[in-house]
Amino acid sequence: MDYAAIVVLEILYMIAFLALISAGLAIVFGMMRVINLAHGEFVMLGGYATIAAAKAGINIYFAMLVISPIVVGAIGLVVERLIVRFLYGRMIDIMLATWGLSLLLIGLVDLIFGNTAVSVPAPIPGYRIGHYQMGGYNLFVIAVAVLLMSGMWFALRYTRVGLVARGAMQGREVVSALGYNPNTIYMLTFTVGAALSGLAGGVMAPLTGLLPSSGGAYIAKAFITVITGGAAVIAGTLSAAALFGTVDQLVSFASTPVFGEIAMLALALVLLRLMPQGITGQFFRNST
């Protein structure tokens, strides 16, 4: 019984983790059809921002929930103005340029913070289920993911901003017809996407030590979650995260975490082959 509870908790945590690290990428991909290969590095930078702020004596929750998104959002804004805006409509070139950006950021962080792992202790103590020790902080991650996803859903569905954002998903003309400059909207979207990546990095920072190359651990998972999810930002991300999170943890419990990850990646290959439009291209078509 205890064991079952733990498996369920771990699956929930994995789903929350995938949803969290994919949110920023999903917004940018869903609305602008831009694949940002530097996404993992944005998450990594969010982590570094939180750790640096926490080491400077700032409250860690404030650091991860406010400082990290602002810092990474600002970086995203600069990147959009300097690089991405010249390449809209050229999908492959954007992938290449952001891959270059990813290497550049790894090199920069390496230069500034050095190639050693930094970490910060989790601010919530563990608890026990029967004989098993569980990380209390995992519950916090689940809570943040739930709040983030429902917040995004509410914003997209019921606010003016959400309306414009959904217009942007339809295309540039729709944004123009609503009376906005599409370039401004794209700039803001990219910034918000980067800020969400920063938030994810900040929230995950206490659970994983950080290296300049840590972004690589996120990019593939975020990628397959978003691409497999398909065009609908919330429903796609959630359904793909649920599927991959469950598979990953079940296989992990049955064998090792490495095979969990391999099973997840292999499943992604099969799904992409069978449903090139993603899960929401096949099911839940009218969702957000």
The residues that touch another protein, with contacts defined as CB under 8 A, are 35, 83, 86-87, 91-93, 95-97, 99-108, 110-111, 216, 220, 223-224, 227, 256, 258-259, 261-262, 265-266, 268-269, 272-273, 276
Residue (6 or 220) nearer to another protein, CB: 220
Question: CA angle, 145 as apex, 125 and 272 as ends, to 5°?
Answer: 125
Q: Which is nearer to another protein, 180 or 259 (CB)?
A: 259
Q: How far is the CB of 26 from another protein (least distance, A)?
A: 14
In the complex, the smallest distance separating the C-beta of residue 186 from another protein, rounded to whole angstroms, is 17
Place of tokens 């969702």: 287
Q: What's the closest the beta carbon of residue 151 comes to another protein, in angstroms?
A: 28
Q: How are beta strands 127-129 and 132-134 bridged, if at all?
A: antiparallel
| The residue type at 256 | T
The smaller minimum CB distance to another protein, of residues 11 and 219, is found at 219
Asked if 45 and 198 touch (Cβ cutoff 8 Å), the reply is yes
- Minimum CB separation of residue 43 from another protein in Å reads 15
Structure tokens at 175: 């944004």
- Is 14 within 8 Å of 248 (Cβ atoms)? yes
How many Å apart are CA 164 and CA 244, to the nearest integer? Answer: 31
What is the closest distance, in whole angstroms, from the C-beta atom of residue 65 to another protein in the complex?
A: 30
CB of 194 to another protein, least distance (A): 16
Nearest CB to another protein, comparing residues 147 and 258: 258
And the tokens for 146?
A: 């739930």
How does DSSP assign 87-151, residue by residue?
Answer: GTT-HHHHHHHHHHHHHHHHHHHHHHH-SS-B----SS--EEETTEEE-THHHHHHHHHHHHHHH
Single-letter code of the amino acid located at 18 = L
- Comparing CB distances to another protein, the nearer of 81 and 157 is 81
DSSP E strand boundaries for the chain: 127-129, 132-134
Residue 152 Cβ vs another protein, minimum distance, rounded to whole Å: 23
Q: Which is nearer to another protein, 99 or 284 (CB)?
A: 99
How far lies 132's CA from each of 1, 6, 126, 136, in Å? 12, 8, 10, 12
Based on CB atoms, which residue is closest to another protein, 74 or 220? 220
Q: Tell me how far, at minimum, the Cβ of 191 lies from another protein, in Å.
A: 19
C-alpha closest to that of 113 among 159, 44, 163, 207: 44
Residue closer to another protein by CB (options 38, 63) is: 38
228 closest CA partner among 264, 189, 192: 264
